[in-house]
Amino acid sequence: MTNRLNGKEKASILLIYTGGTIGMKQDPSDMTLKPFDFSQILDEAPELSKFAYKIDTYTFSPIIDSSDVEPGLWQELAQLIADRYDRYDGFVILHGTDTMAYSASVLSFMLEDLSKPVIFTGSQLPIGVPRTDGKENLISSVEIAAAKDSDGKAIVPEVCIYFDNVLMRGNRASKVNSDNFHAFRSENLQPLAIAGISIRYNRAIIRRPPCTERPLKVHTSLDTRVSILKMHPGITPHVVRNILCGDQTRAVIIETYGSGNATCKEWFISIVREASGSGKILLNVTQCLGGCVNMDIYANGKTLKDSGVINSHDITTEGALAKLFFLMGQSSDNNWVKSMLEEDLRGEISK
């Protein structure tokens, strides 16, 4: 079907609803927020019709609180986008904020050679309440998903998160506030766009596929055998051994202090060596929101590096988890996964 507006083709957008606060209502029986029917969200944002875009909708079943998200939903989402890729100029995914950064990170790896925008958004207050942030988030996300350059190509062909006037690369963002409208931050990468009176795009850092003619490649295979060990003073050998040496674990993200440091007590280093010696992938991710891992600065960091721990550079924990799920889903060769962890695949690290 051709959609024309004053001789120009109308942008067509697929709005996908997975759940989250944006579409929740208070259940009078217990006063908790629960997801409600998607058609009512559109009724709450009649402004969308002023764009004169063609907006189709797709609702997941069941709609979920995003703290229930599972890899199956990511696989369904990636497949849905792939199946409808040729029919739409852009995709907007309404998603709960709790795990939005995880979902956006994983999708960024699953969708290779993306040439169209995939914008995740949601809200802190349900769209039906008077002070909602959901309306602006939804309306600007749709505008960004439809935005094209004069050559007809999408301005932002990336998986992004749009929240509170800021467009962030999806695999660079983290949820940092549970009740402020400014819920997400991308500490290690500037915004891809800022929405004020107009939407100002930061074209210098927006990634484009090497060649727009290349078809979208979708990777739906994920291996989730990853654990996270968060370092803290007082951590015990028992806890460290359980996490690093579990037989169901193929990779461990070690959330270290500062620029990638952890205790170099003998018991700790000996467990790290045992795990890496048995072939496990150990990835060093800093607990800091900003900055990067450099295991050559302090002796403690250097000891980790010498024990086989891999440098994640300035990735977020959400991005690291997603990158591991994706790479491990591609190959059973842990040495290949380790070498790819050092590469910048989707703009997730600065190198």
Q: Say if residues 47 and 132 touch (Cβ distance below 8 Å).
A: no
- 108 touches ligand ASP (CB under 6 A): no
Catalytic one among 18, 21, 99, 316?
21
CA atoms of 185 and 8, how far apart (whole Å): 36
What are the helix (H) ranges across 111-236?
A: 134-146
Helix intervals (H) in 14-99: 39-44, 71-83
132 binds ligand ASP (CB under 6 A): no
Q: Rounded to an integer, what distance in angstroms lies between the CA atom of residue 198 and that of residue 37?
A: 32
Q: Which residues, at least 6 apart from 79, have a Cβ–Cβ distance to it below 8 Å?
A: 218, 220
Which DSSP string do the residues of 167-187 spell out, in sequence order? EEEGGG-EE--SSSS--EE-T
By CB under 6 A, which span of 96-104, 129-137, 201-209, 323-331 interacts with ligand ASP? Answer: 96-104
Q: Is residue 65 a contact point for ligand ASP (CB under 6 A)?
A: yes
Closer residue to ligand ASP (CB): 94 or 229: 94
191 binds ligand ASP (CB under 6 A): no
Q: Does 67 bind ligand ASP (CB under 6 A)?
A: yes
Q: Tell me the closest approach of the beta carbon of residue 122 to ligand ASP, in angstroms.
A: 5
Euclidean distance between CA atoms 24 and 248, whole angstroms: 37
Nearer to ligand ASP, 127 or 254 (CB): 127
Smaller CB separation from ligand ASP, 140 or 286: 140
- The residue range among 16-24, 43-51, 155-163, 231-239 that interacts with ligand ASP, by the rule CB under 6 A, is 16-24
Name beta bridge partners: 194: 166, 200
Residue appearing with tokens 């929240």: 163
Q: Which range touches ligand ASP (CB under 6 A), out of 59-67, 186-194, 228-236, 255-263?
A: 59-67
User: Are 71 and 224 spatial neighbours (Cβ–Cβ below 8 Å)?
Assistant: yes
Chain residue at closest Cβ approach to ligand ASP = 96
Catalytic residues: 21
Interface residues toward ligand ASP, by CB under 6 A: 19-21, 65-67, 96-98, 122, 124
